[in-house]
Each structure stands twice: as structure tokens, then as C-alpha cells.
Structure 1
């Protein structure tokens, strides 16, 4: 039977990861061109979105690790009872990892790109500098995939628990015994 406590803890970790990713999207770094008379340069606001994105990444990682340790990562546990639950647990395992990797990639790329600030000066005669910032929606995509990962991982764990319930694998001794030929 699936552990309700584990499901609640994983849900809360995913909820915190989602909230941090949404906050990171709202607090992305923005830049303005500052002119001091002879030079113009990019002036960036605070860099809190990077920390929020990394925090979201770590909470999602903790959630995924908790589910995989509890389920023995599908491949390290015992044999599963044949049926729909086993088939669904395999499909959900693959989808869960796929959405997890996409979410982590979005959060990592967003955090790295948000932390990168161009630090160059140009003379006023030349066009103003290009103040590169993170595109809108990178952290939001990470937040969306956090939701998908959370749903799929919880369904995976419940499905795997159903496939494990009351199944005792055989010893591999299911055939007909025959005497030795001399």
C-alpha cells in the first residue's frame, strides 16, 4: 500500500518548488542603460531570481529522490505483479523522469542565464549597449514541468505500490523435475 505520509511530503516539496519557480519568473533580472556622461553601460537590478531558481531546482530534486528511494527506482526492487498496475508504473516511471529532466533543465538554464550580466561599456557615440536578460517564460516552463513531474511521480508511486501488493515471486522452480540422465 502506498504511504500517505510519503505522498504528502512529496506534494509539499513539489508545491514549494513550484512556488519558488513562479517567484523566480516574477523576479527575473531586468536591466536599464545608465549614462554617466562619457560612457553608457547596463545596470542590473537585484539577482534574487537566480537563488529562487536554484532553490526550486533543489526542492524538486529532493522530491524526486524521495520518490525514487521509496520505490527503489523501479529496477532495484522485487518482481512486480503482472497486470495493468505494472504496465502503468513502467510508463509513469519513464514519463516522470522525462518531465523531471526537462524541469531541471529549465530551472538550471534560467538560473545560469539570469545570473549572467554583460559588463561592458560603450561610448555614447556608439549605439547603446545591448542589455541581455533572461527571456520571459523560462522559469514558468520549469514551473509547469514541476507540476507534471509531481503528478506523474505520485501516480507512479501509487501504481507501483499496487503492483507490489501481495505478490510473492516464485523461486524459479516452476518447471517439471526430471531425473539426471546417466
Structure 2
């Protein structure tokens, strides 16, 4: 395996793992329902939340996923690489890249939505008329982290298939060129004898 291929896989893998870890960290540090406090200042009711690094983790995970997706996309021929006709590229590789795009996109949307909702200070009212502070549902950040990691792993799998198919095509075209080349003969022509008169 070439050093470029290994480098791309390692960098993208680290970014995917970082996004997953950030998702778990955001889930662990997000504001819980019991931590929100309803404040009534006489004019309106609003929520006060303790400070939480969940939003920072979510943004960091989003950046890591976007970087990983950008690196793998540029290394494997651009955005429409799955639509290109590449000989020897298995159909499974195309499935990997499509699912990778979907899972990565959903993960990024969940991270952004979670980051936005973690700063929201809205109230919700229960059936019995009691107000409580809105918090993000459990599992949003964890789900985003897992989906992001799966998307990155599928992108790496596609990239390895892509590199293998490209190398196979290059080797095959080199063999064809050798076969098409005219044979080289190293036969020495006999010297022409000069006629004496």
C-alpha cells in the first residue's frame, strides 16, 4: 500500500474517531432536565441553564466530520466519484460511498441541531400546568457520533476499493501497452560484402 493511501486512511480515521468521542463527550456534558431552572421575573418566564461544553463538543465533531469528508472526497476523485466509470470497482464500493454520504450528513445535521438546541432557553409546559426547561432528548449526540464514525469507516472502505481499482487499471493499461508495442529485434544484419572488379 502506498504511503499516501495510508496517510489518508489514518488522518480520516483519527478525525472520525475524534467526532465519535466528541459526540459521547457532548452527551455526557449536556444540560440535564433537572439542571434547568425556571425564572419568573414578573414580566416573563424563561430558563436559566448552567454553562455546558456540549455545544463546543458538537461544533468540534461537526468540523472533524466535514474535514474527514473533504479529505476522502478529494483523495478519491471528487464529489461525483461514485458516478464515474471506473473499471474493476465493485458495486459494494459504490454502496459504501452512498451510505457514507448519508450517514455523515445525518450526523452533521444532528450535531448542528443539538448545538443549536443546547443554547435554546425556551419553556415547555406539562399537562398539569407546570413549566419546565427544554433540554435535548437523550442519545442525540451519541447517535450523531456513532453515525459519523460509521460514515467515515465506510468512506475509508470506498477509498481503499477506489485506490485498488485505479492501481489495477493502471497496471492493466501498462501490460496492454507492452503487448501493443512492436517487438524489438536485436539481430545484427550481416555485413554487405563489397564486390571486387
Task: Report TM bin, short chain.
Answer: 0.7 to 0.9
CA contact (8 A) 1:40 1:128 kept: no
Aligned partner of 1:81 in structure 2 is 87
Distance of aligned partners of 1:36 and 1:96 in 2 relative to their CA distance in 1, 3 Å threshold: closer
CA contact (8 A) 2:123 2:131 kept: no
Distance of aligned partners of 1:119 and 1:87 in 2 relative to their CA distance in 1, 3 Å threshold: closer
- d(CA) in 1 for partners of 2:140, 2:152: 18
Give me the TM-score of the superposition, normalised by structure 2: 0.72
Aligned partner of 1:64 in structure 2 is 69
- From 22, 31, 47, the equivalent of 1:42 is 47
- d(CA) in 2 for partners of 1:46, 1:103: 24
- d(CA) in 2 for partners of 1:116, 1:98: 27
Q: Does 1 or 2 have the higher relative contact order (CA < 8 Å, sep 6+)?
A: 1
CA contact (8 A) 1:53 1:107 kept: yes
Q: How many residues align?
A: 163
Aligned partner of 2:193 in structure 1 is none
CA contact (8 A) 2:19 2:64 kept: yes
List per-residue Cα deviations over 1:53-108 (Å, max 9, x = no partner).
011011011001100000013635975223xx332221111111011111111111
Over the residues paired in the alignment, what is the CA RMSD in angstroms? Answer: 2.9
Which piece of structure 1 moves more, 60-69 or 160-169? 160-169
Aligned partner of 1:6 in structure 2 is 8
CA contact (8 A) 1:28 1:47 kept: yes
Give me the TM-score of the superposition, normalised by structure 1: 0.77
Gaps of 5+ in 1: 121-125, 171-182
Aligned partner of 2:107 in structure 1 is 103
Gaps of 5+ in 2: 174-197
Aligned partner of 1:115 in structure 2 is 119
